[in-house]
Structure 1
Amino acid sequence: MELDWHRILFNDQPYSYFVEIFIRTLIMFIAAVVTLRIAGKREVQQLSIFEMVMIVTLGSAAGDPMFYDDVGILHALAVFVVVLTSYRLLIILIARNKSAEVLLEGKPHYIIREGRLCIGEMPSDELGSDEFFGQLRTQSIEHLGQLRCVILEDTGNLSVFFYSDEEVKPGLPILPDEYNKKSSKITSSGLYACSYCGNTKHLEPVERVLCEVCDNVEWVSAIDRRRIGA
């Protein structure tokens, strides 16, 4: 079968359509920049869900008229006006109504309090332990006992507050080599941390023991404050 390269590369459009594409793209690019400038700028990591939806919607509305000749530019610009107007109304609603702010942008959640995971408070479907521990490790954190509290902000960022060196407690290790030594069987007496919530307690050799905080049965040797910086 012989390929029709002219159809593949140009379809049925004349070569002069490239000029129209240039004009369409330039207009939509300027319209997108102006719209986002009016909407106000924030860092990408600080964008809320509906702001991301706005950007995706604008991108879709801007893309079609750039190279589809059956999509009018004014139609796309009408979408821009509707999206921008809706966004500004939402901003006003959020500023005046606390419930609307929580619904649309979410609210901060405590992930850690006093060196222990807040199982009852943290949104379980938003942050897996591997991802969470990975973010903590990027800040040179060795174990949870170093942390006074960690807050998951509504932007998705983590706010981390440390204990002073004198206040650091024994805690659940988050370095992979040590965390992966978790086991339900305690073979020697010592200080252990629950692998699920970080609760620490002194345990004697036993086949199986429940954590009184979360009912987890897997434990790992806690890192003592004396080992910090070792």
Structure 2
Amino acid sequence: MDIVLRATVVFFLLWLVIRVTGKREVAQLSAFDMIMVVTLGDLVAQGVVQEDYSLSAAALAVTTFCVLSLVLAWTHFRFPVTRPLLSGRARVVVRNGEPILEVLSSEHLTIEDVEEAAREKGIRRLREIELCVLEVDGGFSFFTVDEPDEREGATEDHTLQ
């Protein structure tokens, strides 16, 4: 019966936290948000089923994480200068059909990662890409040239396989 009571209290605590912090679709969650969700799940599990952790400790941990998350969100909104530090910056990984290897390397990406994302957008060749931007959420934005045949004379043809 103790576990049912604990689970009920934690359920309503999490419901309240979600109502206060807002909802986002899973596709909109950043990597940090996903780590936070997993960590919160672990904290909740400890508070619900383990005897060596009190319910109040689990509630305090969840509340602390949520307050810190709200503080970061407020800081991000209120002080634009902190946005690159808190969220990162978008980076150009392909320009005029040529991958920027230094950026790919520093972001721990391979050219195959870019090619896969391009194929998902219906882009068959890197030379069709005017600009490929790695966004702060980890997604790619592609800007293609108007005429794919413009660069036909390029010496290196990166055909995506």
Q: TM-score, normalised by structure 1?
A: 0.60
Alignment check: 8 A CA contact 2:131 2:143 kept = yes
How has the CA–CA distance of structure 1 residues 22 and 157 changed in structure 2, closer, same or farther, with 3 Å as cutoff? same
1:174 equivalent in structure 2: 160
Task: Give the drift of 1:86.
Answer: 0.9
Q: CA deviation at 1:140?
A: 2.5
Larger relative contact order, structure 1 or 2 (CA cutoff 8 Å, min sep 6): 2
The TM-score with structure 2 as length reference comes to 0.82
Q: Where in structure 2 are the equivalents of 1:13-52 lying within 5 Å?
A: 19-52=1-34
Cα deviation, residue 123, structure 1: 5.2
Give % identity. Answer: 24
Separation in 1, partners of 2:31, 2:122: 30
Contact residue 46 and residue 53 of structure 2 kept, 8 A: yes
Q: Where does the alignment leave 5 or more consecutive residues of structure 1 unmatched?
A: 1-18, 176-230
From the CA coordinates, give the structure whose radius of gyration is larger.
Answer: 1
After TM superposition, give the deviation of residue 161 of structure 1 in Å.
1.4
Establish whether residue 71 from structure 1 lines up as the match of residue 53 from structure 2: yes
1-structure distance, mates of 2:12, 2:133: 39
Q: Is the 8 A contact 2:47 2:55 kept in 1?
A: yes
Distance 2:42 2:130 in 1: 44
* Alpha-carbon distance change, 167 to 30 in structure 1, aligned in 2, over 3 angstroms: farther
1:98 alignment partner, one of 65, 80, 83: 80
Counterpart-to-counterpart distance in 2, 1:126 and 1:93: 28
2:135 is the alignment partner of 1:149: no
Q: How far is the alpha carbon of 1:143 from its aligned partner? A: 0.7
2: distance between equivalents of 1:26 and 1:158? 41
Q: Is the 8 A contact 2:104 2:111 kept in 1?
A: no
Amino acid at match of 1:58: L
CA shift at 1:28, angstroms? 1.6
SS at match of 2:101: coil
Count matched residues. 157
| RMSD of equivalent CA atoms | 2.2
Stretches of structure 2 lacking an aligned partner (at least 5 in a row): none
**By percentage of residues, which structure has more helix?**
2
